Amino acid sequence: MKVINCLVIVSASLLVISCSKVVDPVQKIGLGTRVISYQADDLTSSLVIPPDLTKPSSEGLFAENVEVSNNQDILTEVGNVEVMRDSHRRWLVVDKPTSEVWSLSKEFFRSYGFVIEKENQKIGLLETDYLEIETKVPDKSLGMIRAALSKALKTQYGLPIADKYRVRMEPVEGQNKTEVYLTLTSIGEVIKGEQRLWQPREKDVELETEMLLTFMVFLGSDRTEAINKIQASTDSNGDLVKVIKSDSGYATLVFPYNKKQSWSYLGWALDELDVDIEDRDIFEGSYFINISPSKGFFARLINTVTNTKTYQLYVKQIDESYSEVIFVDLSNENDEDTLSFSFEFFNKLAAKF
């Protein structure tokens, strides 16, 4: 994204305020009408994103549902793709094996110019790098003078916004199908004094929905049927997910679900927080996560830039409607910082519900 040249800003001091992003009055754009335009450039290296970026909380689920078992709803079945939802999440069930969905997912994001930054087919997880999205401000919002200046200088008003996506895939037990979870993370450039910094942005739920729709069509769904059935919702059943203190002194995350459901919810919450998942064991019920300086609120635990710690999150079923997530420090150091971090981390996970 091009911005006003610094020399022009100095010489046109009365127009400094125009460097801030100008927003049109809020308009509800119908699903399927938004044009998604990412600014891919093969000659430009990936964005360098500074540390201490945390993702703000967000909500945005789907509605118009048909109730099924396990407190889940099928919103619509389009071709070979089902759109699923429950009180907190929405995801796809694709009538294809995970290996096929894996290849198609990579092809889909590359078609938009994204670089696949991380991929681990063993655990069904891939992430793109950040890529700037088109954020041009319409001339009618700029005013006559700024619109003329923008045209003359061949520039655009508005600061850059960059997005990345995570896709997590889970094979459906006993079936040749795959569950697909798509999560958007966004950052935006802001001006602080003389510095231009990247800061986390609230998730654009409309954009995430549009990308999900586009992905469905890419996988073989009928576009018209998908548009007609997918609707936004912010429903919540108020299920209580809480944090308690264990006998060891570490935090424990409590889910009012059985082990299988808790495992699934834990994976979704880790996606929402953009946590680096190193490995997972669905049979044992464990996630192994890496905590690194680039993950915002985790950074304070890191002594050096190269020091990354791995923790295990183990899901233990207590009964059919109650499970606990145990925080395991694999280093066995049991220091006060790690004990404190376990509560900070689990509280952030619980806040997603």
- On whether both 116 and 229 belong to a single domain, the answer is yes
Per the CB < 8 A criterion, the answer to whether 72 and 63 are in contact is no
- On whether both 203 and 296 belong to a single domain, the answer is no
Report the candidate in 197, 15, 172, 45 with the shortest Cα–Cα distance to residue 96: 172
Per the CB < 8 A criterion, the answer to whether 316 and 324 are in contact is yes
Domains in the chain, number: 2
- On whether both 19 and 165 belong to a single domain, the answer is yes
Q: Is residue 1 part of a domain?
A: no
Query: Quick one: pLDDT at residue 184?
Result: 95
pLDDT tops 90 at residue 305: no
pLDDT digits (tens, 9 = 90+) for 152-173: 545 454 578 999 999 999 999 8
Q: Is residue 289 part of a domain?
A: yes
Q: Is residue 165 part of a domain?
A: yes
**How many angstroms separate the CA atoms of 349 and 298, rounded?**
13
Q: Is residue 145 part of a domain?
A: yes
Per-residue b or e along 72-96, where b marks 16 or more CB atoms closer than 10 Å to that residue's CB: bbebbbbeebbbbbbebbbbbbbbb
Least confident span in 10-24, 198-212, 314-328: 10-24
* Whole-Å CA distances, 353 to 136, 140, 234, 281, 350: 35, 40, 12, 23, 6
Place of tokens 């952030």: 348
pLDDT tops 70 at residue 196: yes
* Whole-Å CA distances, 136 to 19, 177, 220: 12, 40, 31
**How many angstroms separate the CA atoms of 342 and 324, rounded?**
14
Per the CB < 8 A criterion, the answer to whether 211 and 224 are in contact is no
Q: What is the CATH number of the domain that holds 21?
A: 3.30.530.50
- On whether both 215 and 71 belong to a single domain, the answer is yes
Supply the range of the domain harboring residue 47.
Answer: 6-233
- On whether both 83 and 224 belong to a single domain, the answer is yes
Point out the domain boundary residue: 233, 266, 285.
Answer: 233
Radius of gyration of the chain, Cα coordinates, nearest whole angstrom? 22
**Summary mean pLDDT of the chain:** 74
- On whether both 108 and 59 belong to a single domain, the answer is yes
**How many angstroms separate the CA atoms of 204 and 8, rounded?**
32
The residue type of 254 is V
154 by DSSP, 3-state: which?
Answer: coil
- On whether both 218 and 250 belong to a single domain, the answer is no
Output the six-digit token pair for 188: 């935006």
Q: What is the DSSP letter of 155?
A: -
Main-chain dihedrals φ then ψ at residue 195, nearest 5 degrees:
-100, 150
Task: State the DSSP string of 177-228.
Answer: -EEEEEEEEEEEEEEETTEEEEEE----HHHHHHHHHHHHHHHT--HHHHHH
Answer with the residue of higher pLDDT: 217 or 7.
217
pLDDT digits (tens, 9 = 90+) for 96-150: 999 999 999 999 999 999 999 999 999 999 999 999 987 654 444 445 554 555 5
Point out the domain boundary residue: 182, 205, 233.
Answer: 233
Give CB contacts under 8 A, 24+ apart, made by 207-212.
Answer: 207/34, 207/36, 207/133, 207/163, 208/60, 208/182, 208/183, 208/184, 209/31, 209/60, 209/62, 210/31, 210/32, 210/34, 210/36, 211/36, 211/165, 211/182, 211/184, 212/90, 212/92, 212/182
- On whether both 59 and 12 belong to a single domain, the answer is yes
Query: Quick one: pLDDT at residue 209?
Result: 87
Per the CB < 8 A criterion, the answer to whether 286 and 314 are in contact is yes
Point out the domain boundary residue: 233, 263, 297.
Answer: 233
Least confident span in 85-94, 125-134, 279-288, 303-312: 303-312
- On whether both 219 and 281 belong to a single domain, the answer is no
- On whether both 75 and 211 belong to a single domain, the answer is yes
240 by DSSP, 3-state: which?
Answer: coil
